[in-house]
Amino acid sequence: MESIKVGLLGLGVVGGGTWKVLARNAREIARRAGRHIEVSRVAVRDVAKARKLLGPDVAVGADPFEVVRDPSINIVVELIGGDTLARELVLEAIAQGKHVVTANKALLAKYGNEIFAAASARGVMVAFEAAVAGGIPIIKAIREGLTANRIEWVAGIINGTTNFILSEMRSRGLPFATVLAEAQRLGYAEADPTFDIEGIDAAHKLTLMASIAFGIPVQFDRAYIEGITQLAAEDIKLAERLGYRIKLLGITKRRPEGIELRVHPALVPTRSLLANVEGAMNAVLVRGDAVGQTLYYGKGAGEEPTASSVVADLVDVTRLLTADPESRVPHLAFQPDAMDDTPILPIDDVVTSYYLRFSVADQPGVLADVTRALANGGISIGSMIQQPTDSADTAELIFLTHEAVERNVNEAIAKIEALPFVHSRVTRIRMENLA
């Protein structure tokens, strides 16, 4: 049987890994796919360097549009990143009747609705397992493995850079800036780490998981995003003392009023599965009504882990090349005409628990006024700690609340900060039990 011809756009970390995996496991992959999968054409910036790696049998050039317009190419693999040129190339590949495999979470989070609609109209597939959590097959798990379930929520550690930073801050007691520099030295963080440390990368991934979990359009612009740059080492230590660890979580929940879609640091109980995910690893918890909780754990980035997902998509597409488009798994799990317009809830409407820390004058009546401000907002206190500070006439209060509406918590915080005996801003970190 004739080989499947693949056009590869980009030969960086993931592209190079894809080439290695396809070459090393060619026979095993062919046995599974039913046909050989052959990279026949590559577009790269450094043509000479690529030719040394790929050898004489692969056509190498600098123009990616030549690849997507090549009539011999069956599948285009987009690994160049970004969302401008990549969008043009993916849409052109679809227009040319080619199937697409991509690891570009930013592209799909911003333009996924447009891309999937174009692919459906043209009868081609867009596969994106590698776009979320690297080598963890979370897209396939939610889209296919859990298809019998009504998904209740998805929550996970989906950015290895931030998880490494928080793990190091906790275990070594180092400040954020020091650990970030170490992450950059080790290659876990880019020279410009903004997308990672500000939670944007995690939000891209969460947006895609929310769409396939709940059958809603891709809506990255409605996600609430909060990074880890403002976390203090003191709060990480206190969380540990209280039986929690702080993780940057992506959380999406189905509620009667709408869908929660949020990325932010959160306290999670040390006994929980997510609390024990350390270093640069990723983990995703999914709760379905029939199956309960399921956990997916592994390397969320890296050359070959991500390539593993790219190649898995290539095999899936190869198997389904001759299938009727209506027989294929829909891009976002649900049939296109069955997607819901369920609203994304603003962060003010989110319901969760809270960790609150602030300094006050050590004098009678303080605690009563603070608890009154919380009670007036309908916020119930789970536990409270008072501890001394460096100043003899100042104390630090730490509250752990029961579940409350964020809007009410924000109003209570404003009232607390306005009290004359409060000497600091209120540090607020959300808490998630994920039960």
Q: State the chain's mean pLDDT as an integer.
A: 94
Q: Which pLDDT score, from 0 to 100, does residue 58 have?
A: 92
Q: What is the percent of the chain with per-residue pLDDT over 70, rounded to a whole number? A: 100
221 pLDDT tier (thresholds 50, 70, 90) = very high
In the predicted structure, residue 391 carries a pLDDT above the cut 90: no
Cα angle value 373/376/380 (rounded, 5°):
85
Q: Is 130 helix (H, G, I), strand (E, B) or coil?
A: helix
Q: Which pLDDT score, from 0 to 100, does residue 57 have?
A: 87
* CA-CA-CA-CA torsion sign (397, 401, 404, 406): positive
392 pLDDT tier (thresholds 50, 70, 90) = confident
Q: Which amino acid is at 14?
A: V
Neighbours of 59 (CB within 10 A): 17
What is the arithmetic mean of pLDDT over 245-250? Answer: 98
Per residue in 87-143, pLDDT tens? 999 999 999 999 999 999 999 999 999 999 999 999 999 999 999 999 999 999 999
Q: Which pLDDT score, from 0 to 100, does residue 388 have?
A: 84
Q: Which pLDDT score, from 0 to 100, does residue 190 have?
A: 86
Per residue in 168-212, pLDDT tens? 999 998 889 999 999 898 888 888 999 999 999 999 999 999 999
Per residue in 264-291, pLDDT tens? 999 999 999 999 999 989 999 999 999 9
Cβ atoms 381, 431 nearer than 8 A: no
- The span from the CA of 402 to the CA of 78, in Å, is 46
Q: Which pLDDT score, from 0 to 100, does residue 363 have?
A: 87
Q: Which pLDDT score, from 0 to 100, does residue 428 have?
A: 97
Q: Which pLDDT score, from 0 to 100, does residue 6 have?
A: 97
Q: Strand pairing of 4-9 and 37-43? A: parallel
Kindly list the catalytic residues.
205
- The span from the CA of 205 to the CA of 163, in Å, is 15
Neighbours of 353 (CB within 10 A): 19
In the predicted structure, residue 246 carries a pLDDT above the cut 90: yes
Q: Which pLDDT score, from 0 to 100, does residue 69 have?
A: 97
CA 266, distance to chain mean position in Å, is: 15
Element (H, E) at 314: helix 303-320
Q: Which domains are assigned to the chain? A: 4-135+303-338 (3.40.50.720), 138-299 (3.30.360.10), 349-431 (3.30.70.260)
Q: Which pLDDT score, from 0 to 100, does residue 2 have?
A: 86
- The span from the CA of 141 to the CA of 146, in Å, is 6
Q: Which pLDDT score, from 0 to 100, does residue 56 have?
A: 87
Q: Which pLDDT score, from 0 to 100, does residue 7 have?
A: 97
Q: What is the percent of the chain with per-residue pLDDT over 90, rounded to a whole number? A: 87
Q: Which pLDDT score, from 0 to 100, does residue 326 have?
A: 86
Q: Which pLDDT score, from 0 to 100, does residue 364 have?
A: 86
In the predicted structure, residue 217 carries a pLDDT above the cut 80: yes
Per residue in 282-340, pLDDT tens? 999 999 999 999 999 999 988 999 999 999 999 999 999 888 888 899 999 999 999 99
Q: Which pLDDT score, from 0 to 100, does residue 64 have?
A: 97
In the predicted structure, residue 1 carries a pLDDT above the cut 80: no
> Which DSSP string corresponds to 131-198?
GSSTTS-HHHIIIIITTTS-EEEEEEE--HHHHHHHHHHHHH---HHHHHHHHHHHTSS-SS-HHHHT
- The span from the CA of 153 to the CA of 292, in Å, is 10
In the predicted structure, residue 435 carries a pLDDT above the cut 80: no
In the predicted structure, residue 229 carries a pLDDT above the cut 80: yes
397 pLDDT tier (thresholds 50, 70, 90) = very high
41 pLDDT tier (thresholds 50, 70, 90) = very high
- The span from the CA of 64 to the CA of 41, in Å, is 10
